[in-house]
A and B are shown apart, each in its own frame.
Chain A
Amino acid sequence: MSAPFMAGSLVTSTATFLDGNGNPADPSAVTLKYKQGAGATTTVTYQPNTPTSITRNSPGVYSTELDTTGWTGPDNQLWTVQWSGAGNVQAIAVSNWQVEPAAL
């Protein structure tokens, strides 16, 4: 079973978009939404030539680093991450993972 990330870890989340032929392709717009536990949803939109937390690694491939610092428990914290593309490549993916409190 996969272990949770320890609070304080930077978690890299990557989205790879493929067009209808299976080739990497850039959507017209890329949006990342994430939520820590029952907290508010944060929305980040990729904007070319504008600094955001989303990086375009290559055509169709985008990534971000999510900072898990601050979770003190006692239980694990559930993160929900949603990537979506619109326009040229319309697709969406949602995943979850957990953060455990740091040891000390």
Chain B
Amino acid sequence: MKQTAAKGVTAKHAGTAKHGQAKKHSPAQTLAWQKAGAAARKAHRVAKHPAHAKPAALALAGDVACCAAEALAASLRMAGHPVADADVLALYLAITGDPDAGAPIAATLEAAADVGLAGHRPRYEPVTALHTGVVFGCTLPGGRHAATIDGPGVWTWGRWQPFTRPLLADEAWQIEWAA
């Protein structure tokens, strides 16, 4: 989509309550990322994908509204390149120092083209077809969200979740990565 939004315009992401929930992970929560953004994020905080375990000190999914940077990281990982949590956070901080502000996908792509993500820079263009590798934007109950399509599901907050409900993407980006 050609739409872009300036920093600070995008609605803040779900979950103003910070710092860990004690509730145990349940499969129902992990499958429900589209059902409730806040609940899904809460689940993500306590059950990380082993390959992308996050240091507690960063706690990106719980404390920083960097879903677009996370989506770009997923895209880069799908291209075969490792991305550390520190890389994701550095990209987000290149856009804003406010952990709650959030950042539009377009702004995150521009920042990645400028400062790089884990040593790689994206070439990108808006698309309408949603397929594997595409980073898209949507609206969850808690606000705007970004994720990356991978087969019959999406990478969101560092975790893969299958499609379970209808989805409306109002922006989508095809990304190619170069060193």
A93 to B170, CA, bound (A): 7
Main secondary structure on B side of the interface with A: loop
A44 to B117, CA, bound (A): 40
Residues of B within 8 A of A1 (CB): 6-7, 95, 107, 110-111
Contact-size category for A: 35 or more
Chain A 61-89: CB-based contact to B (< 8 A → 1; otherwise 0): 10100000000000010100101110001
A17 to B107, CA, bound (A): 24
* A20 adjacent to chain B (CB < 8 Å): yes
Main secondary structure on A side of the interface with B: strand
Cross-interface CB contact of A94 among B2, B139, B167, cutoff 8 Å: B139
Of A6-14, A35-43, A46-54, the segment with at least 4 beta carbons within 8 Å of chain B is A6-14
Residues of A within 8 A of B106 (CB): 2
* A19 to B, closest residue via Cβ: B166
Contact-size category for B: 35 or more
* B16 adjacent to chain A (CB < 8 Å): no
Cross-interface CB contact of A3 among B4, B10, B172, cutoff 8 Å: B4
8 Å CB interface, B104-162 against A: 104, 106-107, 110-111, 126, 128-130, 136-139, 144, 149, 152-153
CB of B111, distance to nearest CB on chain A (Å): 8
* A100 to B, closest residue via Cβ: B6
* B85 adjacent to chain A (CB < 8 Å): no
Residues of A within 8 A of B10 (CB): 95-96
Residues of A within 8 A of B167 (CB): 17-18, 22, 91
Residues of A within 8 A of B3 (CB): 11-13, 81, 95, 97
* Beta-carbon contact of A15 and B168 below 8 Å: yes
* Beta-carbon contact of A18 and B130 below 8 Å: yes
Residues of B within 8 A of A11 (CB): 2-3
* Beta-carbon contact of A14 and B1 below 8 Å: yes
Say yes or no: A98-B169 contact (C-beta < 8 A), given A11-B3, A12-B1, A22-B153.
no
Residues of A within 8 A of B163 (CB): 18, 20-22
* Beta-carbon contact of A61 and B128 below 8 Å: yes
* Beta-carbon contact of A78 and B9 below 8 Å: yes
Cross-interface CB contact of B149 among A2, A22, A90, cutoff 8 Å: A22
CB of B83, distance to nearest CB on chain A (Å): 22
* Beta-carbon contact of B168 and A84 below 8 Å: yes
Q: B residues bordering A, Cβ < 8 Å?
A: 1-7, 9-11, 95, 104, 106-107, 110-111, 126, 128-130, 136-139, 144, 149, 152-153, 163-172
